[in-house]
Amino acid sequence: MTPADAAEVLALCAAFDLRTIGEADARAWAYALRDVPLDDDTRRAVADHYGVTEKRATPADVRRIRARIREARIGAAHPVYNGNPTETGAEFAERRRAQLAAAAEGHLPAQSITQALDAAPPAAVLALAAGVGRPVDDEPRPYITPEQRSVIRSTLPNQRATLPALVVACPVETCRAAPRRLCKRGAGVELRATVHGRRRDAHAVQFATCPECGADPGQHCTAPEPHPARIRATSVEDDEAEQHRLARLMSAPPVPRENRARHTAGGIRR
């Protein structure tokens, strides 16, 4: 930048901050910006500076903002140099420098990294990707809708005085309670009054005959899930077994108490 170029830059600054300009100012700015040419990027740097602040611009401000403008163009262009196997290191540096300068000047169009690397997927891969997520007509439909499931679940017994379903392991992935172990929910909290629905279903499949499809104990129902009638049948059998056990306890005569020796201050008394 010559003193005349610096005087033009200072005149542009004076249009914003009303500074006075002298020959010494032009010479000082020309020396500070001796490797910076007077071009549109330099003029834009002055305008960008005063567009965000009221402080007087300095040569350092012009240099910094101009470099940022040019770096933004390089980042948008993503220049890729493929190189030449026969070129020397000096030739590579010179050509790469020229490529970056062209990008900074705006001579290279903005493009994505994929476009710069010419790394677009093959047509066959794009055709396969286009089919991802399409509905498949032959997929099996659910046995019941979520709304019907919630209604049926609400009518099934979940809380019981005893938990006969504990004889089987819980199939829930987040629980996996072993036989005779209580089910657990989040944070390892034990369910003391109930079990997971899938554990109750597994207990019904293992020990009850399905009144609806006739599946024997240990055999799955003809539906993907146990029929509600089979689960209710298990509940009735469990309640009857509990009632029989309580009836036996109530009908058994009480065991006579055994007289035991008492130790007192006066000796032994029977």
pLDDT tens digit sequence for 119-176: 667 777 777 777 776 555 555 555 556 666 665 555 444 444 457 788 889 999 889 8
User: For residue 105, what pLDDT band results from cuts at 50, 70 and 90?
Assistant: very high
> How many whole angstroms separate alpha carbon 239 and alpha carbon 232?
11
Separation of alpha carbons 51 and 61, rounded Å: 13
Q: Is 77's pLDDT higher than 50?
A: yes
Could you give the 3-state DSSP secondary structure of residue 268?
A: strand
pLDDT band at 68 (very low <50, low <70, confident <90, very high): very high
Q: Would the pTM count as exceeding 0.95?
A: no
C-alpha dihedral (195, 201, 205, 211), degrees to nearest 10: 120
